[in-house]
Copies of this chain bind each other. A is one copy, B any other.
Amino acid sequence: MSLVSNPNTAQHWPIAAAMINFPGVLADGTAVHDQPAEAWLDPLQQVADAGFDYVDPTDSWIRVADLEESRLAQFEQLLTEVGLAVGGISTARRSVIDHEHGLDYLAYSHRVIDTAARLGVSDVSFGLFEALTDAQKRALWFWTAEGHVSSPDPDSWKLAVSRFQDLAAHAERVGVHISLEMYEDTYLGTADSAVRFLTDIGSSHVWLNPDIGNLQRLHRPVEHWQSMIEKTVPHARYWHVKNYFRTEDATTGAIVTAPAPMEFGVINYRMAVRQAIATGFDGTFLCEHYGGDGLSVSATNREYLRRILPARVPRTR
């Protein structure tokens, strides 16, 4: 199989921008979610001006699944005005086994699936990571402080599996696909565990979101990115991509990371993407970047992806 890059067709590979770079709460305490829809124009216009065709209204910005129909229609209207389509809907910190709000978030996840179907969007991303701890909220980079750790209790794992099976059945009925985001200290926190968790769910409509940037940025030893990629991309569909500089001093053990553009960080996305495609991947990319001007870096990352992407081939799995 030849994977020679072809700029013409590479244009057709959908690449979305996350809204994580826009605050969900304004300086005066107002939730953006509760603002009049007109207020959403400027952030969406910025995304369009940065050259994106697709956006993911990440729920740290607004929760599209919690908008009443008239407001959702306004949101759609705004997208049309600025020339954006929804590339997927990602949730963050809404674990279906959240130690406080698990059932609420399960119900919310069902609404997300329905909203995706309503908007004609085939991809949603769910995860098992929970609210930031106080130490994480105070940190410049939250991933350098200790966060919540999923329970090692096998019953908790089983509960998570069964709740995702429930969501999977719903998703399948309405033609939506769920991708599960890899995240440290959850059942999706290592490549092996993520694949095992996915296997336990066992649904044709549940995939992995191999967002291994979440793991490569940790200030602790982690599996090499390459074996993480090898294990996870055969199961990938909606893919959050981001990269980090990662320095490990093999003599002292010191580890230092920093957010990096995709081209420059430790994960070789040229190799990762080719390997994914070789195993049948044809999902949508979601560009995320924390730190500094994340939207501009996401746009830079989109252009990088366009340079390395091969011609798009029909899904073979």
Q: A interface vs B, CB < 8 Å?
A: 2-5, 21, 27, 42, 45-46, 49, 135-136, 138-142, 144-146, 219, 224, 230, 243, 245-252, 254, 256-271, 291-297, 300, 304, 307-308
Asked if residues B297 and A141 are in contact (CB atoms below 8 Å), the reply is no
Give Cα A142 to B307, complex, Å. Answer: 29
* B247 and A300 contact, CB distance less than 8 A: no
- Closest CB-CB distance, A155 to chain B, in whole Å? 30
In the complex, chain B residues whose CB is within 8 Å of the CB of A307: 296
Nearest Cβ on chain B to A144's Cβ, whole angstroms: 4
Q: Which of A135, A243, A258 has the most CB of B within 10 A?
A: A258
- Which of B136, B245, B291, B308 meets A296, CB within 8 Å? B308
A-B contact pairs, 23 of them (CB 8 A): A2-B45, A4-B45, A139-B248, A139-B250, A142-B250, A144-B250, A144-B251, A145-B250, A145-B251, A146-B251, A245-B258, A247-B256, A249-B256, A254-B254, A254-B256, A256-B258, A261-B264, A263-B292, A263-B296, A263-B300, A267-B292, A269-B293, A271-B293
Q: Which single member of B2, B224, B266 contacts A292 (CB below 8 Å)?
A: B266
The distance in angstroms between the C-alpha atoms of A271 and B167, with both chains bound, is 38
Q: Which residues of B contact A2 (CB under 8 A)?
A: 42, 45
The quantity of this chain's copies bound in the complex is 3
Q: How far is the CB of A303 from chain B (nearest CB, A)?
A: 11
- Please give, as numbers and ranges, the residues of chain B lying within 8 Å of A42 by CB-CB distance: 2-4
Residues of chain B with a CB closer than 8 A to A249's CB: 144, 219, 256
Shortest Cβ-Cβ A-B pairs, 6 listed: A139-B250, A145-B250, A270-B293, A140-B248, A144-B250, A245-B258
Q: Is the CB of B295 within 8 A of A246?
A: no
Instruction: With a 10 A CB-CB cut-off, give which of A259, A265, A268, A292 has the most chain B CB atoms.
Output: A292
B-chain residues with CB within 8 Å of residue A4 when the two chains form the complex = 42, 45, 49
Contacts of A45 in B (CB 8 A): 2, 4
Q: How many angstroms between the C-alpha atoms of A304 and B261 in the bound complex?
A: 14
Q: Are A247 and B251 in contact (CB under 8 A)?
A: no
- Chain B residues positioned under 8 Å from A246 (CB to CB): 140, 258
Contact A264 B260, beta carbon cutoff 8 Å: yes
B251 engages A270 (CB within 8 Å): no
